[in-house]
Structure 1
Amino acid sequence: MSLFTIDNEKCDKDGICALECPAHIIKMTKQGPALIQGAKQFCIRCGHCVAVCPKTAFSLEFLSPDQCMPIEKQLVLTADHAEHFLRSRRSVRRYKDKPVPKDIFEKALTLACCAPTASNRQIVKWLVVNKKEDVVKIAAHVIDWMRYVSKTHPQVAQAYNMENLIIEWDKGTDRICRDAPQLVFAYASDEFASAAADCHITLAYLELALPGFNLGSCWAGYVNTAVNHWPNLAKELKLPEKHTCHGILMVGFPKLKYYRAPKRNSPDIRYHAG
């Protein structure tokens, strides 16, 4: 079967599909779009050719126009909407004592997986810890790691405020996972050079998607550092061999509401002078 088919009654031979193809595997002929030699080997399955065709004339063997979400003009963000959306997002560190419904979270995660990845490999894998007792257990492993670091590398412990975090933990305050009902780990195989960037971008998409489902999130930096340095925590999580966790989010229903967006620094820009 050919990699793509063309509806000749719809195709006006405008060449947009060939122009847009990031892998340059489509060429235009007098008869219409055609494949270069070895095209299947170089196709990254991004679907740009299907998405960009204004006539719905282009179909891939794995993707047809009717399988794509249509772009609704009335739903496209204006500059004002984009500013309000992005500036109003807050990192959430106080959560309601309420579990995250699996179906709602998976809808948000499905949106996050629309994030761009290198060559459209879509290599990001997910570990979801959605039992409160397991989140507490993970936080306890991080505290154990901090106790070890405090004894063996006190300067490092001081730089990361570990002593205070340990003291507060012993008093019953969790500043590691913030009493979040759920943790989400993004990891990928070490064989991919883009693994860290792909995980980070996809997690950023997840952060932005969650407020639409009345959920909030915050990066669990201490957990992420510990998982790559503390064997007991790695053993607890059972990540596949030769895979690395590149980011973790705490997720839950925000306990508090925000009524204004604080200022941030202006961009530090330097234009290349040549």
Structure 2
Amino acid sequence: MSLISFDAGKCTACGICSMICPENIIMPGESGVPSVPAEYEAFCAHCGHCEAVCPGSAITSSYQAFPPEDDTADTGQVSPDVLTKYVQSRRSIRVFKDMPVEKEKIEAIFEAVRFAPSGMNMQPVKWLVITDAAEINKLAKLTIDWMRMMAETGTDHPLKPFFPALVALADAGLEPICRNAPGLVYAYSENAFGFTDSIIALTTFDLMAPSFDLGTCWAGLLHLAAVESQPLKEALGIPKGYILQYPMLFGYPKYKYKKIPGRKTADIIWK
């Protein structure tokens, strides 16, 4: 079976599939019906764009793990002003309500996240989702243990000057690492090339969360320790051979923000 099939009875010979193919492997045929030469199939990105764009529904792919959606959103439903305010209103949440997040909400967010762009449409990002508050607190404690060790030894680290203060906060009963968040997602992938794709996917999670009344915070301090602390890596327990990419905290915000704080103007070089 061909990787991509073209139904001659439905094809209008419009050529759009050839024009939008990112790998330029769809060749127009003499009769107007396109095809993918067998020697080009290995270069297919499996993006599904040809099948999704075809006005006659004449294209079928054999690689799709899930069938394409029947329709797309009307982008005109969301005005630029509304979307701009939505993005500007996103805040890093560091104080959460003491209540769990429903699994259904998390799954609904991932329905959007799994469509986040990735290089060559490789979709390399995998996820560790933790909703056990005690487990998250354990990860925070292991992070503090690592910082304490780093502060007390001669090991160099660019952020080492900050470690004593963070350790002191933890010793005083505060939680400066995971902020007592009820939820944590950690992106991981099979190789280091998945970092950019992970950040894109996490940003999608970040932007989707407020639409479910949830808040998020990028857990940089946790990741700082996770890449170096073996006890922390073992506690996270991702499969052997995979690389931790970046974590994000999530939960219900305890407080609501009334205004959008100021930010620098965009620093742009126009050419």
Settle same-fold status: TM greater than 0.5.
yes
Q: Deviations over 1:5-47 (max 9, x none)?
A: 3333432111000111111110111321111232321111101
Instruction: Classify the secondary structure of the residue corresponding to 1:29.
Output: coil
Q: Contact 1:184/1:250 (CA < 8 Å) preserved in 2?
A: yes
Equivalent position of 2:152 in the other structure: 151
Q: Distance in 2 between matches of 1:121 and 1:65?
A: 15
Q: 1:214 to 1:55 in 2, by over 3 A?
A: same
Q: 1:69 to 1:176 in 2, by over 3 A?
A: farther
Equivalent position of 1:12 in the other structure: 12
Q: Contact 2:6/2:35 (CA < 8 Å) preserved in 1?
A: no
Paired amino acid for 1:181: P
Equivalent position of 1:250 in the other structure: 249
Q: Contact 2:52/2:68 (CA < 8 Å) preserved in 1?
A: no
Q: Contact 1:59/1:65 (CA < 8 Å) preserved in 2?
A: no
CA drift at 1:84: 1.2
Q: 1:158 to 1:81 in 2, by over 3 A?
A: closer
Q: Distance in 2 between matches of 1:66 and 1:175?
A: 44
Unaligned ranges ≥5, structure 1: none
TM-score, scaled relative to structure 1: 0.91
Q: Distance in 1 between matches of 2:93 and 2:254?
A: 8
Q: Could you tell me the percent identity over the aligned residues?
A: 34
Q: Please tell me whether residue 268 in structure 1 is matched to residue 271 in structure 2.
A: no
Q: 1:112 to 1:15 in 2, by over 3 A?
A: same
Q: Deviations over 1:149-172 (max 9, x none)?
A: 111248748755222221121121
Q: Distance in 2 between matches of 1:198 and 1:64?
A: 20
CA drift at 1:64: 11
Q: 1:9 to 1:64 in 2, by over 3 A?
A: farther
Instruction: Classify the secondary structure of the residue corresponding to 1:141.
Output: helix
Q: Which moved more, 1:111-120 or 1:258-267?
A: 258-267
Q: 1:140 to 1:60 in 2, by over 3 A?
A: same
Q: Distance in 2 between matches of 1:155 and 1:119?
A: 38
The 4+ residue runs of structure 1 with deviation greater than 3 A are 7-10, 62-67, 153-160
Paired amino acid for 2:48: G
Q: Distance in 1 between matches of 2:59 and 2:66?
A: 7
Equivalent position of 1:200 in the other structure: 199
Paired amino acid for 1:214: D
Q: Contact 1:50/1:65 (CA < 8 Å) preserved in 2?
A: no
Q: Please tell me whether residue 165 in structure 1 is matched to residue 145 in structure 2.
A: no
Paired amino acid for 1:114: F
Equivalent position of 2:120 in the other structure: 119
Q: 1:263 to 1:55 in 2, by over 3 A?
A: farther
- Give the 5 Å matches for 1:225-244: 225-244=224-243
Equivalent position of 1:56 in the other structure: 57
Unaligned ranges ≥5, structure 2: none
Q: Which moved more, 1:243-252 or 1:37-46?
A: 37-46
Q: Which moved more, 1:68-77 or 1:105-114?
A: 68-77
